Amino acid sequence: MITRDDHVHSSFSSDCTSPMEEQVRAAIAAGLTEITFTEHLDMDAPYTNVPAGEALDFRIDYDAYREELNFLKVRYADRIQIHMGLELGLNASLSPALEEYVRTHRFDYIIGSTHSCGGMDPYYDSFFEGRTAEQAFRAYFETALANVKTCPFFDSYGHLDYVLRYGPDKADGSDEQHTAEYYYALFGDLIDPILYELILNGKALELNTGALSRGFPEPNPCAAILRRYHDLGGVMVTVGSDAHTPENIGAHMDTAARILHGCGFDSYYSFEERTPIRHPL
C-alpha cells in the first residue's frame, strides 16, 4: 500500500497555478500521510520550440518556497507530513551550474528529469517535425543517457520514457503495435544503459502515475522498463503523481503498487534529507 505522493507541484512551479495549501488539503482528503513538493527548476528554459506567448521561466523563488512549505508543515503537522523537494531539469551542458545549485540549496529529495532535447521540449509537436517519430524518440533517449551520466545530482530519475506521451505515435493504447513495451524493445539499447547508470550510482527510478491520469494505459516508465530495472538489480523505486492540480494528488497509487508487485518489487522508497527510506508495499 502506498500512502504518500513524492512528486507534486504547486504555483511555485511556473506551469502550475494550484496554491500549495490547496494541494496539501487535497492530499489530506485523498488519505495520504506524506507528500513531497518537487517544484520545477529547468535552467535551460524557455525552450526554443515553445510557441510565442507560451514561454515559461522554470525558476524557483527558493526562499519563498521554503517559507511557505515550512508554514504549512507546522500548520498541518497533526494531519500530514510535508517534505521539500525539487524536480531538476537535467542538461549535460549545464552540469557545473546544476551541481552548484544542488550544493548550495537544501532539499529532502531531488528528481532528475529530462525535459528537453536539443533545446526543444517534446511536449510540442514541433519537436517531431522533419524526422520520424522513431528518430525523435531515439534523440531524446540519447540525451537522457548523456544527462544521467554527466548530471548525477539527483536521488531518483523521473518519468524515464516521458517522450512517449507525445509525438505522432503515442504509446496510448490506441494502436496495438505502438505500445510502451514495443518502444522499450525498440530503444532498449539506450534505455538499458540508463538503468545501469542509475543502479551503479545508487539512484532510484521513479514510477510516475501522471500518464495514467492522462488516460495512458501505462505509467512512466512502463512496466517493461520497471521489470528490466528490477532484473538488472535495481531496488529503489519512488512513486509520484506529478500532480499539478488537486484532483490528481495521490492518483493511481493502488495501480502503482500492483505494477511494482508484478515487476518483482516488495517495497518502494522515499527520501528525507537526501537519504533513502524503504517502505514495504
Q: What is the CATH number of the domain that holds 100?
A: 3.20.20.140
What pTM was estimated for this model as a whole? 0.95
- Give the pLDDT score at 241: 98
Count the helix, strand and coil residues of the chain and give each as a percent rounded to the nearest 5.
Answer: 40, 20, 40
Residues of the chain with pLDDT under 70: 169-179
- Give the pLDDT score at 174: 64
For residue 218, the enclosing domain spans 4-280
Q: What is the tens place of the pLDDT at every residue in 38-57?
A: 999 999 999 999 988 887 88
- Give the pLDDT score at 184: 86
- Give the pLDDT score at 77: 98
Q: How many CB atoms lie within 10 A of CB 46?
A: 16
- Give the pLDDT score at 133: 87
Question: Angle of helix 20-29 relative to helix 62-75, nearest 10 degrees?
Answer: 40
DSSP E strands in 107-167: the ranges are: 109-113, 156-157
Whole-angstrom Cα Rg for the chain: 18
Count how many domains the chain has.
1
* Phi (first) and psi of residue 105, to 5 degrees: -130, 140
- Give the pLDDT score at 172: 64
- Give the pLDDT score at 167: 76
| Contact yes or no for 121/49 (Cβ under 8 A) | yes
| DSSP classification of residue 215 | T
- Give the pLDDT score at 176: 58
Q: What is the tens place of the pLDDT at every residue in 116-145?
A: 999 999 999 999 999 998 999 999 999 999
- Give the pLDDT score at 180: 74
Question: Who contacts 128 (Cβ-Cβ below 8 Å, separation ≥6)?
Answer: 122, 136, 166, 167, 168
